[in-house]
């Protein structure tokens, strides 16, 4: 997936996010082959795939691409032992000039890793971070209610330490009934799921409309 939101624009021409689990079943063992199979896959790019892939390889060789290789632990089994062609290819990928590699610590094969300049461990929010976040994104009265609920609900405390899940909790809470209903874990979970479904459905509808508009224009 190509990312273009102004992120690191002063350092790189392209930030490229590649979930490594998507490399399962990859036929090619070259960088341009990877780009053709997994990056430039739209039917509308079929005539330009090779040229686009070649240009991206050139950018990578010039250090203009930041690769984000996501979930190394999810593909360790496929990498196999030394001599495995996929393992060799994966090592080449991870040794690009500018990379960020994410992985769970369990099951990680350190033999795949290049020399690491900086290693960070994500530990999530501490309690003060949780309170600061809730205060920042919610109105004062609602923030107080959410903070009290988190403090008295151990299961929610575990969820709230993970930023993206705390965001979903706050995002969902505004749709809870305001009078005469006690908030339960089950009710909150169900509402979180519905809100995420609605959010995903809205994005899917926009994408479908865009594709249909493009097809009409091409027709």
DSSP per-residue codes, 79-147: H-STT-HHHHHHHHHHTSSSEEEE--STT--GGG----S---------HHHHHHHHHHHS-HHHHHHHH
140 and 104 both lie in a single domain: no
Q: How far apart are CA 138 and CA 125, in angstroms?
A: 17
Let me know: does 133 contact 166? Beta carbons within 8 Å: yes
135 and 107 both lie in a single domain: no
> Which structural domain, as residue segments, surrounds residue 99?
2-112
**pLDDT at residue 180, as a whole number:** 43
11 and 106 both lie in a single domain: yes
Better-scored residue on pLDDT, 2 or 167: 167
* 28-81 confidence digits (pLDDT tens): 888 988 888 888 876 556 678 888 888 899 999 999 999 999 999 888 888 877
94 and 47 both lie in a single domain: yes
Instruction: Return the closest-CA partner of residue 21 out of 59, 75, 95.
Output: 75
**pLDDT at residue 135, as a whole number:** 94
58 and 139 both lie in a single domain: no
* 156-211 confidence digits (pLDDT tens): 888 888 887 888 888 777 766 554 445 566 766 776 677 667 666 665 666 556 54
90 and 161 both lie in a single domain: no
**pLDDT at residue 68, as a whole number:** 93
Of 55, 85, 112, the domain-final residue: 112
**pLDDT at residue 131, as a whole number:** 94
11 and 98 both lie in a single domain: yes
Query: How would you list the strands of the sheet with 2-3, edge to edge?
Result: 2-3, 14-19, 65-70, 99-102
Residue 3 has pLDDT above 70, yes or no: no
Which of the 8 DSSP states describes residue 6? S
Is 122 domain-assigned? no
Is 19 domain-assigned? yes
101 and 142 both lie in a single domain: no
**pLDDT at residue 143, as a whole number:** 92
Task: Count structural domains, the chain.
Answer: 2
DSSP SS3 for 67: strand
**pLDDT at residue 62, as a whole number:** 93
Is 121 domain-assigned? no
**pLDDT at residue 120, as a whole number:** 86
| Torsion angles phi and psi, residue 2, rounded to 5 | -85, 135
Across residues 95-116, what is the average pLDDT?
87
Let me know: does 100 contact 69? Beta carbons within 8 Å: yes
138 and 95 both lie in a single domain: no
For the four alpha carbons of 171, 74, 3 and 212, in that order, the dihedral sign comes to negative
């Amino acid at each position: 997936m190509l990312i273009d939101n102004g992120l690191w624009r002063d350092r790189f021409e392209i930030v490229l996010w590649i979930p490594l689990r998507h490399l399962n079943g990859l036929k090619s063992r070259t960088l341009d082959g990877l780009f053709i199979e997994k990056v430039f896959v739209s039917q509308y790019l079929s005539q330009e795939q090779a040229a686009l892939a070649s240009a991206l390889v050139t950018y990578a060789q010039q250090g203009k691409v930041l690769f984000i290789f996501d979930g190394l632990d999810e593909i360790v089994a496929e990498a196999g032992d030394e001599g495995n062609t996929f393992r060799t290819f994966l090592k080449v990928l991870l040794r690009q000039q500018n990379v960020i590699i994410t992985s769970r610590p369990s099951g990680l094969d350190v033999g795949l890793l290049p020399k690491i300049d900086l290693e960070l461990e994500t530990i999530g929010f501490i309690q003060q971070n949780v309170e600061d976040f809730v205060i920042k994104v919610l109105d004062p009265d609602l923030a107080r209610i959410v903070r009290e609920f988190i403090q008295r609900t151990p299961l929610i405390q575990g969820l709230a330490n993970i930023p993206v899940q705390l965001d979903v909790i706050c995002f969902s809470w505004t749709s809870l009934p305001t009078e005469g209903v006690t908030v339960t874990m089950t009710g909150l979970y169900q509402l979180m799921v519905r809100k995420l479904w609605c959010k995903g459905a809205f994005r899917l509808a926009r994408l479908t409309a865009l594709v249909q508009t493009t097809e009409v224009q091409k027709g």
